Chain A
Amino acid sequence: MSLILTLSELDGDTLARSSRETLTFARSLADAHGWDLHAVAVGEIPDTAMADLRAQGVAVAHALLHDQLDGDAAPAAIAAAINELHDRLGAGALVGSGTDHAAEVMAHVAARTDLPLASNCTEVAPADGGWDLTRVRWGGVLLEDVHLEADVALLTAAPHQTAAADAVSPGAAELHSFKPELDESLHITRVVERASRGGGISLATAPVVISGGRGVGSAEGFGILEELAELLGGAVGCSRVATNNGWRSHNDQVGQTGTRVAPDLYVACGISGATQHWVGCMSAKKILAINTDPEAPMVTRAHYAVIGDLHELLPALVTEVKNRRGVG
C-alpha cells in the first residue's frame, strides 16, 4: 500500500492553519486512493500539534531531526531531508502548502527529483494512471484543469481554498523520528539573522483590514486610514498604485504580488478592484467598498458599499466609532 506525505508547518505549539487546510486537501486524495496519510515536520513535534495531526487523520508523523534543521533551516536542506524520507517510504504523492516557505521547499524537492510540481492546487483526483487536478493561475483569477503524468505527484495546495476539517475518524499519528544525512553545502542558504518589525498587527492575520488605493491621493492621506485601523484593532493595507507612488511600503500591499488577506472585514477605500488586487482580498468574510464610482468592480463585487468621497466619509466614520466607544 502506498501513502501520501504532507509537509506540515507549526505555528508555535500547534499545527499552522495552512497545514491543516493542506492536510484536509491531501486527505481527499488519500481517501480516493485508499492510501495512508503521513505528515512530516521539521524538528520535534509538540503534543498539541500531534493532537492536530491525529484529528486530521494522520497515520504516521515523521519528525525530521538534524543539527542543520535546528532553528532557521534552509529550504534546500529541508527538501533534501524530505527526499531522503521519501526514498525510504516510497510515497505516491508529496503535498505542501502554497505558503511562501512551503512552496520554496516543494520547489527544491521538485528540482532534486526532476519531477513536475503542480502549484496552488484546489482539487485533485486519481485518473488514467496519473492525476487530474485543478490549479490556480493569475493568483486566483483563473483556474486551470491539468492532467499530471508522473511517478510521484508533487503538489502544493492553494491557500484559503480548502476549509480545514477534521477527519471522520482520527488517525493513529504514530510518531517516528527521522535523522537524515545532510550535506554541509545545504547549510549555505540558511537564515543568519532575523529581525522583528516589532509591535503592530500583521496584515495577514488582522481581523479587519482598512485598505487604500489611488483614491487616497497621498502618503498623508493614509493617516485617517491608520486612525480607523487602530481604533478597530486592524491593519492598513493598500493597492499597488499606493505602493508604486511611494505612499506605502510594499509590505502593506494586498493582491497577487502582495499579501493575501482573509480578515472578517476588508474595507477598500478608493480601490477600483482590478483582478490582481481582488485575488488578495476575495477570501475576506465581508468586503466593504468605499468609492466615488458606483460602477467600479470593487463596488459591484463587494458585500457592502458606500458611494462617495473617502475623504468625507472616513473622518465622519472615525468620529462615529469614537462616539460609540465613548472615547474622544
Chain B
Amino acid sequence: MTLNILVAVKRVPAPGAKIVLTEDAQRIDTKHLGFTVSPHEECAVEEAVQLVGKHGGSSTVITLGPPVAEEQLRTAISMGIDHGVLVETDEQEWDALATAAALTDAIQTLEADGDRFDLILFGNESADAGNYQVGIRVAHALDRPVVSGIKAIEPTDARATMKRAVADGFEVLDLPLPAVAAIKEGINLPRYPAMRGRLLAKKAQIRRLTPQRRDGGMRRVRLHHPPQQQAQTQMLGTGADAAPAVAALFEEVGLL
C-alpha cells in the first residue's frame, strides 16, 4: 500500500538565550533572528519522508503564513518532501481557530483536486503559541480520527499502529486510515538536508492558496516576560575541588 502524506509546519522565529520584544509588546523583535519550525514538526517532516521512502506514495508540506514562510516549505522539500503548499496570509499571527479553519479549507481544496491524504501529520504543539489544538480541530472538521503525542507510526494495509510515550512506558493505538496524528519529537532523528535536496528545493514549484479568515474570539493585549525570581548565583568552587561543597549541597537538600 502506498501512502500520501500531508505535513503541516509553522514558521516561527528561532530565539536565543534572551527574547527581545518590540516596543508595542505585540511581537518578538526578529531583527537579528533566523526562522525555523518546531522540532516536533521537523520530526513530522522526517517521518513523512521515511514512510513514503518505505511504502511509496508522495508527501506534501503545507504552511499558513506570510510569503516568506516559503523558506520553511523549501527546507522541508530539501529534506525529501515532494510538494509544497503556501496558504498565504499577512504578517499577523492567526489564532488556533482561524488557522485550523483555513488549513481545513486548504486540505479540502487539495483533496477536491485529486489528492487523497492517508495521513495528515501535525506537530504536537507549535513552538511559539503552543495551542495544542490545531491538528485536533482540523481532524474534527474533516471527520477523521486523531491522536496526539505520537512517537511511532507503523502503517499496515488501511490502518496504522501508533505509539505514544507516557511517564512509565508507552501506549499503542490502532487507527483506520485516513487519520491525523500530532507528532512528538523523538519519533526519529531528522536528517540534515543534502546538497541535492537543497538544489531541488530551490526550483520546486510552490502552490499558493488564499484563505478566508474567520474570527477566533481571542485578542492579544500584549506580550511580556515572566518575573525573574533568581538574582544571585552562589559559587561552590571550581573543578574537582568543588566536590565536597557539592556533596554538602546534596546533604542540605536531603539527598544524602
Contacts and interface: CB of A to CB of B under 8 A. Distances in A.
Contacts of B18: 275, 297
A263 B247 CA distance: 17
Contact of A116 (B21, B95, B167): B95
B132 A138 contact: no
Interface string A105-123: 0111011101111111000
Nearest to A115: B217
Interface string A298-320: 01111111111100110111011
Interface stretch (A20-28, A87-95, A169-177, A240-248): A240-248
Interface residues of A, number: 99
Interface string B74-102: 00000000000000000000011100100
Contacts of A106: 133
Interface in B167-194: 167-176, 184-186, 189
Contact of B140 (A112, A117, A264): A112
A233 B235 CA distance: 25
Interface string A252-266: 010011100000110
A146 B136 contact: no
Given A138-B127, A258-B185, A275-B18, A111 B244 contact: no
Contacts of A118: 218
Contacts of B172: 191-195
Contacts of B255: 207-208, 232-234, 264-265
Contacts of B165: 251
Given A107-B132, A304-B234, A189 B147 contact: yes
B39 to A, nearest CB: 5
18 contacts: A104-B149, A107-B132, A111-B139, A119-B131, A137-B130, A142-B21, A142-B28, A142-B224, A188-B175, A232-B255, A233-B255, A244-B189, A250-B186, A257-B38, A257-B127, A265-B255, A285-B253, A308-B238
Interface of A: 72, 75-76, 98, 100, 103-104, 106-108, 110-112, 114-120, 132, 136-150, 156, 188-198, 202, 204-205, 207-208, 232-234, 240, 243-244, 246, 249-251, 253, 256-258, 264-265, 272-275, 285-286, 288-289, 297, 299-309, 312-313, 315-317, 319-321, 324-325
Interface of B: 15-19, 21, 28, 38-40, 95-97, 100, 124, 127-133, 136-137, 139-141, 145-149, 151, 165-176, 184-186, 189, 216-226, 230, 233-240, 242-247, 249-251, 253-256
